[in-house]
Amino acid sequence: MSGLKEVEELLSSMTRSEKAQVLQWVARDLGDAFPGIESVTGVCGGEPCITRTRIPVWLLVQARRLGSTEADLLESYPNLRAEDLASAWAYARMHRDEIEQQIVENETA
């Protein structure tokens, strides 16, 4: 049985109060989640990347700092969408220190 199927069966046997508690746990766990950004062990060193791609957020941030416009980035990376850039900028704002460290590490490598 798949994990989702098990969860579905468990939820169907819970009270509304128990479901609300589970929902609070899930919301807390996903509180810093950014749609369209994922970190996968073994992909780009586990750095946050745009979903469906291997484009790290730090690379986009640094390209923008160096003068690339969003139009330039969208042209340079055909799989990239405008909403991906919006997600990358939001992620970078919330994880400024992490992105700065990744830029430094990748530029000195």
What does the pLDDT read at residue 31? Answer: 58
* Contacts of 72 by beta carbon, 8 Å cutoff, 6+ apart: 63
In this prediction the pTM is 0.71
Identify the weakest region by mean pLDDT among 19-23, 29-33, 66-70.
29-33
33 pLDDT above the threshold of 80: no
* Bridge partner residues of 76 (DSSP): none
For the chain, the average pLDDT equals 89
Give yes or no for a contact between 58 and 102, defined as CB atoms under 8 angstroms apart: yes
Q: What percent of the chain has pLDDT over 70?
A: 92
79 pLDDT above the threshold of 90: yes
